[in-house]
């Protein structure tokens, strides 16, 4: 009788643990983010002079729950795609250049080298998260990564993955595409 009673207690504990595991698996934290992206060119200001392209990115929570996305306003979590006259533009080469055939690096190009180590999440949480329908804005400096001085028509789109740590479950969210015209030297700029 004692072993039957012990078996019943073990079975009861296993049933409770199974229920708890099921509830844990269904928590909102494990759900994929649901958001939209919209971009616009930042108006010319002191830090955004002619020849500099800075975007304002608007991230909007389209789910029906509060989203706790710590990387919502972290620029390096987003991918910028730039096409010049319909052709994908390569990113600027920001590596240090050698002065000649030797292994010496031209320090005048990049005189300061900083090593950054991230411990934990490099992102920072926005208060208590974004409520349904709530938006947050931040800037992306496009011309720091792409040379946009050559005359032509530049189409810019911003994307972000909903779950970069689980590519099989992730969806790519795309912003609208904006076009920036860089006129020929001496030509009047488009209105």
Q: Considering the domain boundaries, does residue 79 fall inside one?
A: yes
Number of domains in the chain: 1
pTM as predicted: 0.67
Q: Considering the domain boundaries, does residue 3 fall inside one?
A: no
Examine the pLDDT at 50 and tell me if it is beyond 70: yes
Q: Considering the domain boundaries, does residue 175 fall inside one?
A: yes
Q: Considering the domain boundaries, does residue 20 fall inside one?
A: no
Report d(CA 53, CA 69) in Å as an integer: 26
Q: Considering the domain boundaries, does residue 41 fall inside one?
A: yes
pLDDT grade for 110, boundaries at 50, 70 and 90: very low
pLDDT grade for 4, boundaries at 50, 70 and 90: low
Q: Considering the domain boundaries, does residue 57 fall inside one?
A: yes
Residues of the domain holding 160: 32-96+107-182
φ and ψ at 24, to 5 degrees?
Answer: -60, -40
Q: Considering the domain boundaries, does residue 23 fall inside one?
A: no
Asked if residues 179 and 148 have their Cβ atoms less than 8 Å apart, the reply is: no
CATH number for 45: 2.60.40.2970
Task: Read off the pLDDT of each residue in 167-180 and give the average, rounded to a whole number.
Answer: 94
Q: Considering the domain boundaries, does residue 11 fall inside one?
A: no
């Amino acid at each position: 009788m004692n072993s039957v009673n012990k078996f019943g207690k073990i079975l009861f504990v296993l049933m409770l643990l199974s229920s708890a595991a099921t509830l844990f698996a269904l928590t909102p934290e494990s759900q994929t983010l649901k958001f939209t992206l919209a971009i616009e060119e930042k108006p010319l200001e002191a830090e955004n002079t002619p020849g500099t392209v800075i975007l304002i990115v608007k991230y909007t929570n389209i789910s029906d729950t509060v989203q706790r996305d710590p990387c919502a306003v972290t620029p390096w979590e987003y991918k910028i795609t730039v096409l010049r006259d319909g052709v994908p533009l390569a990113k600027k080469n920001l590596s240090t250049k050698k002065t000649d055939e030797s292994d010496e690096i031209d320090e005048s190009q990049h005189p300061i080298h900083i090593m950054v180590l991230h411990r934990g999440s490099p992102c920072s949480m926005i208060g208590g998260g974004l409520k349904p329908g709530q938006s947050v804005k931040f800037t992306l400096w496009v011309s720091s990564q792409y040379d946009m001085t050559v005359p032509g028509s530049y189409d810019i789109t911003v994307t972000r993955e909903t779950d970069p740590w689980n590519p099989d479950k992730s969806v790519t969210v795309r912003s609208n595409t904006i076009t920036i015209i860089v006129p020929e030297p001496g030509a009047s700029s488009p209105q």
